[in-house]
Structure 1
Amino acid sequence: MASVNHNGGPALFRLVRFFARRWTNHASRDLTGEMRHVQHILVVEAVHAARHNEATVNAVAHQLGLDHSGASRMVRDAADAGYLDRAESDQDRRRTVLRLTDEGRHLREAANRWQRRAFDELTETWPDHDRKQFAVYLHRLAGELGV
């Protein structure tokens, strides 16, 4: 019997590669019935994640692991597509913040439904307790990373 490797690092990165390809190739089309730019979904998710501290281009750059100019282009494209509005900060009038439009909120909700469905499909053969515990660990890891 093969021994179990208790270091999940290699498995984690195999999963990241798998889902990066799957997301790019399927998710955006599955969400709306047409091909949407995956970067719009990433930006919408990043703006939502930064909402408690006012979402800015810098916050999006941090969430996505990009430099400011790359994040700025992605934000501009998502705003041009109607998913974001730029507004004056409530905390500092010199600063511009990003807010989701109704269309951006709908895109995020559709992405979340797709993500839940993918999780359910991938773990459908697992015992319910294992599925719930795995979900707890995933939320814990995401929370500790601030993503």
Structure 2
Amino acid sequence: MSSASSPGQPSDDDDPVLDQIGPALSRLRRRAPASNKDLSRNLVLNVIADAADEMTVGGLAAEMGVVQPVASRTVAACIADGLLRRVASQADGRRTVLELTKPGEAERHRFAAEQRAAFEEITAAWTQEERVQFARLLVRYGLDAAAWSRGR
């Protein structure tokens, strides 16, 4: 989608800030929770909670962009810590799917609270309007990115 501009005038699509999106998102990812273990757990818990359908280890691996043994190890650790459980699929009882436990939901909410606190510290100099606008756009970006990824 190109912005209209006069001949000789750069369009909004030529704004150099657009080239900084990737590095900016990379910096956000580097701001990890307490440990890499927490980062992985947060990702796993959110992927499973946000799944439109039942989630298998293979589906989780695909969604996370990792090989199945990596996803399997993370799932095993989450199960050992009581955050996830394996259950029979309601659609196909021969298949095993992943489900958050109550402690898993609580951990997911704890991560979200930590992330909100970090967001509020980082954006302390922003107006409330800027915070809300950025949050809405970031949530929209995340939803659109997930849909784009599924369509590939």
With the shorter chain as reference, the TM-score category is: 0.7 to 0.9
TM-score, normalised with respect to structure 2? 0.76
How far apart are residue 110 of structure 1 and its match? 0.2
Say if 2:25 is the partner of 1:16. Answer: yes
In the alignment, structure 2 segments of 5+ residues that lack a partner are 1-11, 148-152
Query: Counterpart of 2:139?
Result: 139
State how 1:1-147 maps to structure 2 within 5 Å: 6-23=15-32, 27-28=33-34, 37-50=38-51, 52-146=52-146
What code does the residue aligned with 1:16 have? L
What CA distance in whole angstroms lies between the structure 2 residues aligned with 1:56 and 1:7?
A: 41
TM-score, normalised with respect to structure 1? 0.79
What code does the residue aligned with 2:15 have? H
RMSD: 2.3
What code does the residue aligned with 2:29 have? A
Aligned residue-pair number: 135
Quick check: which has more Rg, 1 or 2?
Answer: 2
What code does the residue aligned with 1:49 have? D
What CA distance in whole angstroms lies between the structure 2 residues aligned with 1:70 and 1:9?
A: 33
Deviation digits for residues 80-122 of structure 1 (CA, Å, limit 9, x no counterpart): 2211100000111011110111211111000011111111111
Q: Which runs of 4+ in 1 moved over 3 A?
A: 7-10, 35-38
* Higher RCO (C-alpha 8 Å, min separation 6): 1
